Structure 1
Amino acid sequence: MLADDASPASLRSYAYELLTWFRFLQALEVPWDRAGRAEARDFALWLKTVKKPPRPRRGDAPVPGWVNPVTGKATPGENYAARTRRHARAVIRSFYEYHREMHGRPLVNPFPQAGGVEDGRLGAHRNPMEPFPRPSRRAVYQPKEPKPAPRSIPDQAFNDLFAALSCNRDRALVAFYVSTGARASELLGVCQGQVTPEDQVIGVVRKGSRALQRLPASSDAFVWLRLYQQQMRNMVPWGPDEPLWWTLRRPFRPLAYDAARMLFTRANRVLGANWTLHDLRHSAAKRMVRDPNLTLADVQWVLGHAHISTTEIYIAPTPDEVIAHVLAHHERQRAQRERPPAPPAPGYRPEVLATLFGTTAAGGGTR
């Protein structure tokens, strides 16, 4: 993975999954190259039932699995999520496939591939005019994962969240997040030389391709950025290669992800919500998709998606939008039922029409 130029975050994630697998095999006293389907089955069942290691929590922290009444989002539960278990299975399988290809052992992969995949190359000869093929069935010991819709922040909730921010740096950061759709790590890694206020663009290094991309941002974001820079003048280093975002307390350090997450946590604490930085990316995507003057390809380019099918998930309405549309439908139906009947055309007597069609002459109700 390191030779393939994988990101350090991916290396760390894969290492932790393999560490869990090796600790499991050590408890069973089974060598890693002797593990089979039985160990894979027991590992899948163990991950499904075991509780995650406890971590220190504040006294007022919500219990695991609690649903926030403001956002409708649930906090992480006590057990491992289906996505985590699927990731662990994929990591372990790829680890064994690597050793089978490079060293010829072990002969059997504990986690088999999905049905319908030939030679492990699903879609190797796919017609680019056709959608990507999917396996005919789930792989063995692969958990089912629901397809949650991306949750964006409603406009009024975003206004309340923005009003709860306490400094110009936080306002500038949130304004850039919601107008550019950049990921949290991408925006935090921006240098001062990558900001071009006269063109109203800001350059970010993409998470996947590591390419520098200039993203357009709102004018309000640059106004807040200017106020923040004026506040920090002669207090932090200035230069094209210096970080753009800094902590506000001495000793001044470049703003890291944990610090940016804490500023969001403070605003959430005021509102009683549990929005995340990634929700701002979803909000930016939903706002751009709703604009009829922007094409889906435009939104794909701004978000940095490799496939337009990833961008298409934002076309689907959110549950709040569906509920609002259906309630408006019921209101229109009620107003139509209560609407008085149209008067008869000239030359027709209402009592005759009532006798003929079974309606009263005055109210129009059915007898």
Structure 2
Amino acid sequence: MADVGIRNVAALTVERVGRVAETGDPLQPFALLDEHGVEVAAVGEFLHHMLADDARPASLRSYAYELLSWFRFLRAIDVAWDAAGRAEARDFALWLKTVRKPSRPRRSDAPAPGSVNPLTGKAAPGQYYAPRTRRHARTVIRSFYEYHRDMHGRPLINPFPAAEGAEEGRLNAHHSPMQAFRQPMRRAAYQPKEPRPAPRVIPDQAFNELFASLTSNRDRALIAFYVSTGARASELLGVVQGLVAPQDQTVGVLRKGSRTLQHLPASADAFVWLRLYQQETHGLVPRGASEPLWWTLRRPFRPLTYDAARMVFTRVNQFLGANWTLHDLRHSAAKRMIRDPDLTLADVQWVLGHAHITTTEVYTNPAPDEVVRHVLAHHERQRRRGEALPAPPAPGYRPEALAALFGTPQMSGEA
């Protein structure tokens, strides 16, 4: 490939052509179509490989959209996908870093992009792609090229190289289960830096206000299960009626990654709210061991989806002026369990379904508001201690002279 020099990615026009289509075929749930409506065969083959490798349809959809951005970029610079090299990877990384996200319809009262909510301390999505989004795009494109290199021997070079020391799995080839996984010596080329923020936890008072703002027993039961089990949003929404065991105070969920069934303990309050919700919907929604547990509240009754559950939080946030999310409930549950001295870190790892205990350890780190609260309490204790016991006089001053001057009891000091 000829040297293209440095492209002016700021002046580049990347048209929003092509799309990701849902096919309805269980063997190929999603397809990437070009500007003419023709499926991109290379992407279709890669997604078929992912499905055979036990990837979920949601992952296929996510990967297809990342590859759609890459193919749109290659179309704008007039480079075939199998002719792309390091220069194209560099320019794509720079373009993704500097381009603004496509504008979408916004509510008139929506917060400004990137603004910080004064109640929660969480920032609204910004105008540019977040580092985590750009890192995910790089990972997807790299895995796409690695598949074609292994399967077909082309292209010879992956545009996005691996991190130093991570090639061929040498980094953790002899990993000890008693130690944390080692990270590469340095970041891979064109891999954005990503800060590791502390998990955002809903304070107890804020949670009480949020719970009091819920308007139905279904929503109260759902939130109570979220904050007591620590299950992911999709896991709890996928529960069927036969997996609810009030006598054992557990609920069975299918784990997001492994798809294994795990019975999670829940609070007694959650089952009380669930019983009230089921009593209200008796005779209105189907009953059976394989029927969904959560349903919409309006006719025609349908199984509750993630978007519908998210709208419950959206309405509550609008009322409170907050921007909490369903995933914050999982963080809050984890933090509550970590604070309990009678629960071990391994217990919390099992409940959260983490593959590695190092993932669970992030909840042992104090949140910024906790640190501020603890340090302010420290200063208050220091102030009270100082009031109770005045500091001794500085060297060179006679205690009896200070006592006569300030009317205080004599304190020991140097003569």
- TM range, smaller chain: over 0.9
Shift of the alpha carbon at 1:364? 5.9
Residues 180-234 of structure 1: per-residue CA shift (max 9 Å, x gap) = 0000000001111111111111111110110111111000000000000001111
Which of 350, 353, 358 is matched with 1:309 structurally? Answer: 358
Structure-to-structure mapping, 1:100-119, within 5 angstroms: 100-119=149-168
User: What amino acid maps onto 2:196 in structure 1?
Assistant: K
Q: Secondary structure at 1:254's aligned position in 2?
A: coil
Structure 1: give runs of 5+ residues left out of the alignment. 343-353
Q: 2:403 aligns with which of 350, 360, 364?
A: 360
Distance in structure 2 (CA, Å) of the matches to 1:268 and 1:341: 49
Question: Does 1:294 pair with 2:343?
Answer: yes
**1:194 corresponds to which of 229, 238, 243:** 243
Task: State the match for 2:60 in structure 1.
Answer: 11
1:250 correspondence with 2:299: yes
Residue identity matched to 2:279: Q
The one-letter code of the counterpart of 1:22 is: F
**Residues 338/122 of structure 1: CA separation in 2 closer, same or farther (3 Å cut):** same
Shift of 1:131: 2.5
Deviations along 1:268-326, one digit per CA (max 9) or x if unpaired, are 11110000000000000000000000001110110000011100000011111111100
1:39 corresponding residue in structure 2: 88
Q: What is the CA deviation profile of residues 253-278 of structure 1, one whole-angstrom value per residue up to 9, with x for unaligned ones?
A: 00000110011111111110000000
The code of the aligned residue for 1:133 comes to R
Q: TM-score, normalised by structure 2?
A: 0.83
> CA–CA distance in 1 between the matches of 2:60 and 2:80?
23
- Do the aligned residues in 2 keep the contact of 1:169 with 1:228 (CA within 8 Å)? yes
Partner of 1:160: 209
Structure having greater relative contact order (Cα 8 Å, sep ≥ 6)? 1
Instruction: Indicate the SS of the match to 1:2.
Output: helix
Q: Work out whether 1:74 is the aligned partner of 2:117.
A: no
Shift of 1:128: 3.1
Is 1:282 the equivalent of 2:325? no
Distance in 2 (alpha carbons) for counterparts of 1:195 and 1:252:
20
Classify the secondary structure of the residue corresponding to 1:80: coil
Equivalent position of 2:33 in the other structure: none
8 Å CA contact 1:113, 1:120 repeated in 2 = no
Instruction: Name the CA distance, whole Å, in 1 between partners of 2:319 and 2:168.
Output: 54
2:283 to 213, 234, 237: 234
Letter in 2 for 1:292: P
User: CA separation in 2, counterparts of 1:53 and 1:270?
Assistant: 28
Q: Take 1:129 and 1:283, find their aligned partners in 2: how far apart are those partners? A: 27
> In the TM superposition, what is the alpha-carbon distance from 1:341 to its structure 2 partner?
5.4
| Residues 1:358 and 1:280: Cα distance change in structure 2 (over 3 Å) | farther
Tell me, in whole angstroms, the C-alpha distance in 2 between the residues paired with 1:294 and 1:248.
Answer: 37
What are structure 2's unaligned runs of at least 5 residues? 1-49, 392-396
One-letter code of the match for 2:122?
K
The residue that corresponds to 1:348 in the other structure is: none
Query: What is the one-letter code of the residue matched to 2:229?
Result: T
- The C-alpha deviation readout for 1:13-52, integer Å capped at 9, x for no partner, is 1111111111111111111111111111110000000011
Q: Secondary structure at the match of 2:226?
A: helix
1:57 counterpart residue number: 106
Aligned length: 356
Contact 1:51 1:79 in 2 (8 A): yes
Q: Judging changes above 3 Å, is the alpha-carbon distance between structure 1 residues 364 and 319 closer, same or farther for their aligned structure 2 residues? A: farther
Contact 1:340-1:364 at 8 Å conserved across structures? no
| Aligned CA distance change for structure 1 residues 27 and 341 (closer, same or farther; 3 Å) | closer
After TM superposition, give the deviation of residue 59 of structure 1 in Å. 1.1
Query: How far 1:9 moved relative to its partner?
Result: 1.1
Provide the residue aligned with 1:268 in structure 2.
317
